[in-house]
Amino acid sequence: MNKLESKLNEELLARKEANQLRHRLSLTSYQSNEISTDEANYNNFASNDYLGLANHPATINHLKQNIDQLGIGSGASHLVCGHHQIHHELELSLAKFLGRESAITCSTGYMANLAILQTLAKKGDLIIADKLNHASLIDGAYSSQAYSTRYPHCDMDSLESRLKKETANKWVVTDGVFSMDGDIASLDKIAALCDKYQANLIVDDAHGIGVIGDEGRGCGEYFGLKQTQLPVLMGTFGKALGGFGAFVSASKTITEYLVQFARPYIYTTALPAVIASANLFNLELISNNPTFRLKLLENIDYFKSLCIKKNISLLPSDTGIQPVMIRDSQELMAIHQRLKESGILVGAIRPPTVPLNSDRLRITISASHSKIQIKQLVDHL
Ligand SMILES: Cc1ncc(COP(=O)(O)O)c(C=O)c1O
């Protein structure tokens, strides 16, 4: 083993000793409420497929009919020749669905957040971010030339005191639905503070799009925010929309600026058109049909009511993300393993994904779960 490898091995060992080593499950089934590996089958409460669209039969059928025209790879970046008519249609439909001026599709949510922060927040600007924001927003802030500061989770007084002090151009950045806690940022209050102190609001609504708001248009709809109040909205297709990739929705000027200047948008291969087509199909599916979302809400209520009966304490969340705090990595992994042995898969989330001593089971509820599956989960919990 050379010097580099022995150094890396030390870190791997330390991670193992802290019970924080990650393992990848290799699925042999497609993503669904039931999944399989070579060893076992599981009822799946770990994915972000909140509406059960990751393999909806109608979408598969649509793709079968279109794959001959769309092919597989996009072959190039958007600005060279990877931008297909389907991307354009998806962008128009998204903007219409969200009631906003325009949208651009990005290859992943991670890259969309890098693109937004690196490109829009300039040297001398200040990024003010919620402490529990997604890693991609944290990395976006680090990779921009702006200064950044973080306020305690959802603490409006701290946010205001940071806004008050600062004379620079300011960007307030927050998740809409927090991915590891399931709570919703008070965007109404944040938008009012942004208005009062002339700051620009950026919201990552990866876990809100498709599921939050009366029509599933996300946290912006939930709080009744106009584009002027929420100028930069990012969302993903890989969660409730059951596909892959992401988008940024903003004014035409902002999206055009990103197309021209955002390196994570420009210097990467475009999302394959066939995936853009699946995203578009699923977007239309949920735009015209509230049953997916209503079923999800019913399942969340059912799960929470069973937990109340069994005295299982949950974090305050009304979304599909329902964490159970365990706090200790060793205990968390033991519970996770016992659930697996009972044929149930949930997320086991440990530091550094979450702060120290906030290890948790991250249970995600989907519209595709049956009541029987949910009852079995709670019985085993
Ligand atoms: C809040 C949030 N933002 C961004 C991302 C990144 O999106 P993507 O998986 O498309 O890169 C994720 C999860 O993956 C997320 O949970």
Query: Which residue has the CA at smallest separation from atom 9 of ligand 1?
Result: 109
The verdict on the CB of residue 134 being under 6 Å from ligand 1 is yes
The verdict on the CB of residue 174 being under 6 Å from ligand 1 is no
Mean pLDDT of 265-284: 98
Using a pLDDT cut of 70, give the percent of the chain over it.
100
pLDDT at 142 over 90: yes
Mean pLDDT of 342-366: 96
Q: Which of 118, 142, 65 is nearest to 267 (CA)?
A: 118
pLDDT at 167 over 90: no
**Rounded CA gap, 13 and 26, in Å?**
23
Query: Which residue has the CA at smallest separation from atom 16 of ligand 1?
Result: 179
CATH of domain 20-49+290-380: 3.90.1150.10
Query: Could you tell me the distance, in angstroms and rounded to a whole number, from the CA of residue 135 to the centre of ligand 1?
Result: 8
The pLDDT confidence band at residue 166, using thresholds 50, 70 and 90, is confident
The pLDDT confidence band at residue 2, using thresholds 50, 70 and 90, is very high
How is the beta sheet containing 360-364 ordered, strand by strand?
Answer: 34-36, 41-45, 344-349, 360-364, 321-325
DSSP string over 179-243: TTT--B--HHHHHHHHHHTTEEEEEE-TTTTTTSSTTS--HHHHTT--TTTS-EEEEESSSTTSS
pLDDT of residue 44: 98
pLDDT at 101 over 80: yes
Active-site annotation holder among 78, 83, 87, 207: 207
Q: Which residues pair with 305 in a beta bridge?
A: none
Query: Which residue has the CA at smallest separation from atom 5 of ligand 1?
Result: 109
The verdict on the CB of residue 206 being under 6 Å from ligand 1 is yes
Based on the residue annotation, tell me whether 179 is a catalytic residue of this protein. Answer: yes
Task: Please report, for residues 234, 303, 312, 314, 325, the alpha-carbon distance to residue 309 in angstroms, rounded to integers and kept in the order given.
Answer: 37, 10, 8, 12, 18
Q: How far is CA 208 from its chain centroid?
A: 8
**Rounded CA gap, 243 and 84, in Å?**
17
**In the chain, where the domains are located:** 20-49+290-380, 57-287
Task: Please report, for residues 18, 96, 146, 214, 365, the alpha-carbon distance to residue 350 in angstroms, rounded to integers and kept in the order given.
Answer: 10, 38, 30, 33, 20
The verdict on the CB of residue 110 being under 6 Å from ligand 1 is yes
Architecture of domain 57-287: 3-Layer(aba) Sandwich (3.40)
pLDDT of residue 288: 85
pLDDT at 1 over 90: no
Residue-wise pLDDT tens digits, 171-220: 999 999 999 999 999 999 999 999 999 999 999 999 999 999 999 999 99
Number of the ligand 1 atom closest to the C-alpha atom of 113: 4
Mean pLDDT of 223-238: 98
